[in-house]
Every structure is written in structure tokens, then in C-alpha cells.
Amino acid sequence: MPGADGLVVAHVSDLHLGADDPAAVGSLAADVAAARPVLTVVTGDFVMRAYTEQFRRAAALLDSLPDPVLAVSGNHDLPLLSPRRLLSPYGRFRRWIDDDLAPVVRVRGITAVGLQSSTRWRFTQGRVARRPARAAAATLAAAPAGDLRLLAMHHPPPQLLWHSRLPAADLLLAGHTHLPAVRPLPPHGTLVVAGTATSRRTRGIPPSWSLLTVGPDELQVRERYLGPDGWYTGRSVRCPMAGFQPLHAS
Ligand SMILES: [Fe+2]
């Protein structure tokens, strides 16, 4: 029953296989599984250069994470300088990670939707395309009353072109910056940015992933960092869930 302790969601991002930290790759799945999430969200940059061998390793790591998983692509998951960038930008992502570029996962208490924000025309900045954004908005709007409406994409709004097209959601989960953050998302939502879970591109802070607990009144985000003795909870952020009125609260 999701009500008593809240809904536990694991948010993992920016794996960057090919520029990875072997200690993080080898220990991430066990740490995520120990949290017993009802949903695992992976917000892109599975690989460093979109090579098949990197995707093979990313797929193996993804397989080891607790189900169900919602996955979206990041800018590094598209070929960088190759004709494939134009002809089949999502080809290897679809083959190795998820064939569905508009994934929807429904678990008890949560309707979760993935939106691709990486495009062949831009190398680091993201973009919200009109048609998938409308489809995601329709899915979230049709969520059962009381469901947490969760939207997942690689780029957080500041790095996102056309972010005015973003569907309304209670939670927006993103990555890309490698800097964990929790911020208000107007009008009523919360943006959670996860750090890089397994890459060496850490920008001064250790590999991390974010453990979310969504309770009746508040969201708790515990950032799990990798230290010399394994994963530990670093920063813990609590904030009210202003726009979320779960049925189990009444
Ligand atoms: Fe990225």
C-alpha cells in the first residue's frame, strides 16, 4: 500500500558507459534495489559516444536495475559525427535501451511519462517537440485521480528550447547537468535533477543518484553518493508537494 510511507521512486541519470567509474557501475544496482522503489526512472545519457559496445554495457546495467523502469534518451545517446545522426538518430537507443520513444509506465499511485528532449539538430541543448509533448500532456491529464503525475526527460528546463510546451506534472525528473538539484517547477510542480550515477564526468562531486519518497504532503529527495566505503545518503531535501493531492491522503 503506497500511502503509509509514501511512493518510493529511484531516479538515476547520466550513466555515460564508456567514460564510467567501474566501482559505481559495479555497485549501483544493489544500492538502488535496497531502496525497494516502485519505479526506476533513468533520464538519459546511457553512453558516452553511442557506440554499440557502450550500449551493450548500458543495457546490461539497465537490466540489473529494479523493474519497472522508465527510460528516456540523452544527447550522448545520439551518434555525434556520423550519417546515422541524420538517418537514424535514435536507432541504437531503440535497439539496446527502449524501442518506445514515448514510454508510459503506470504503477499503483503513479502515472509516469517519458519525453525525448534530444534532437539530431542540437548537440547539447534540448528541445520539447510539439507532438510528443501534446501526447504526454494527454496521458498525464488522463491519469487516475490521486495519481502522482511524473514526467521524465533528459534536459532540465533551463537547458531546454520550447520549455513552454512542457506538460503540467507534479514531478519533472531530469539529468544532463551532473549536478543534483531540487527546485520548484511552476505552476505547482517540483523539478528533480539527478547527478551522474556512474560516470567519471562528475564536475567536482561524486557519482550520485536520487531516492525520492513522495508522501501525502511532502517530497523527500535523498541524494545517494558513492564514497570510498560505498553509497551513502548525502544531502536530503524536503519540500511540500503543493499540487499533488493523493487519494491515500484522505
Ligand atoms: Fe546530457
Q: What is the pLDDT of residues 64-118, one digit of tens each?
A: 999 999 999 999 999 877 777 667 889 999 999 999 999 999 999 999 999 999 8
Cα–ligand 1 centroid distance for 4 (angstroms): 35
Stretch 199-221: mean pLDDT:
91
Cα–ligand 1 centroid distance for 44 (angstroms): 7
The pLDDT score that the predictor gives to residue 1 is 36
CA distance 69 to 78: 20
Cα–ligand 1 centroid distance for 144 (angstroms): 32
Cα–ligand 1 centroid distance for 159 (angstroms): 10
Cα–ligand 1 centroid distance for 41 (angstroms): 15
Return residues with CB closer than 5 A to ligand 1 (ion): 45, 74-75, 176
Domain boundaries, the chain: 7-249
CA distance 63 to 60: 5
The pLDDT score that the predictor gives to residue 82 is 76
Cα–ligand 1 centroid distance for 217 (angstroms): 32
Cα–ligand 1 centroid distance for 231 (angstroms): 23
Cα–ligand 1 centroid distance for 115 (angstroms): 14
CA distance 175 to 222: 15
Of residues 197 and 86, the one with the higher pLDDT is 197
**Do β-strands 208-214 and 218-227 pair in parallel, antiparallel, or remain unpaired?**
antiparallel
Stretch 213-231: mean pLDDT:
94
Quote the mean pLDDT of the chain: 90
pLDDT of residue 248 exceeding 50: no
Q: What is the pTM of this model?
A: 0.93
Q: For residue 250, what pLDDT band results from cuts at 50, 70 and 90? A: very low
Cα–ligand 1 centroid distance for 174 (angstroms): 10
pLDDT of residue 30 exceeding 80: yes
Cα–ligand 1 centroid distance for 192 (angstroms): 15
Does the domain at 7-249 match CATH 3.60.21.10? Answer given as yes
Of residues 245 and 198, the one with the higher pLDDT is 198
Strand partners for 41: 11, 70
Is residue 59 helix, strand or coil? helix
Cα–ligand 1 centroid distance for 216 (angstroms): 32
The pLDDT score that the predictor gives to residue 123 is 67
The pLDDT score that the predictor gives to residue 88 is 80
pLDDT of residue 242 exceeding 70: no
